[in-house]
Structure 1
Amino acid sequence: MQFLVFMRTDVYFVLQDVAGARNLYADGAAYARWWLRRAARRPGRDPSLALPARERRAVRWYALLLVVGTAACLAVAPTVTVPFTLALLADAAGGLRPGGDPVDRFDAAVTAAVLGGSWAVWCWAWWRRHGRRLRTLRRARRAVPVAGPAGHQSTGGR
């Protein structure tokens, strides 16, 4: 797990020190976003050009690790993590049935509490980080004029 440097593990900080980078994650993310804008034909200035040559090379390589690692993790979540968690929760729910062994019931309850609690904390943290952006996008989407009957404009509100 420590070699998942795109998640800023201890090995990430060693890599950052070896590369002589000030903030490898932020600079790598900015460079990756610049590449995405460039691919979408939205011009802009390469943010890595402001860095010294050695740090610029490190940032560009790290940006590749960041994109590939993040994509891999996003692929693993729906294909491995979610099905595995659902299977554990189903087993725990089965173990909570009345009349079962008390030790098995306790184990099932602890499993359900740990899994449910960790997912609840993850959802809470995700919402704290991204909720404002989603609310802003939703408000902006509602405010976009939509052509109504006979060419009249409406705000598309509900």
Structure 2
Amino acid sequence: MGPPWINSKGRLFRMQNGVLDTLISEMPRPAGMVFAPNGDLFITTLQNDNVLKISNLPVGVEDENNFVADDFSLQQNYPNPFNPSTSIRYTISSVIASGAKQSQFVTLKVYDVLGNEVATLVNEEKPAGSYEVKFNAAGLSSGIYFYKLQTGSMVETKKMILLQ
């Protein structure tokens, strides 16, 4: 379990087993917070000088062996609509395992509106970074197509239009 933190909207969070956990979803805007030696958390608020006490919170930081950075994005293809080719840009992050960066297996596939795979643009292990791939739709019918980027548990899909 990681230590708790407060965002600017007054929500209290902590990371537990790689999952973001909301401890308090609504509270007055915080002005500051202090941990007591026994693990209690005291939060002062901007409204009425209130002090909130939260007990039984972790005060240490657990060493996580594996995590993935937040750099994962799939951009809208350009141009869109297109004929017959378009560019697709994406960014992937590295998996950090036991303190060392590792590449991830990446797939970028194109599907028609019925869900049939019409092209595989990327199907390989890649290091973290930004990439651009060209998709040539020569031989395909005009219409709507979807492209899906997947790395590990991260998936994002976008729509594109082919006009012949």
TM over 0.5: no
Point out the structure with the larger strand share: 2
Point out the structure with the larger helix share: 1
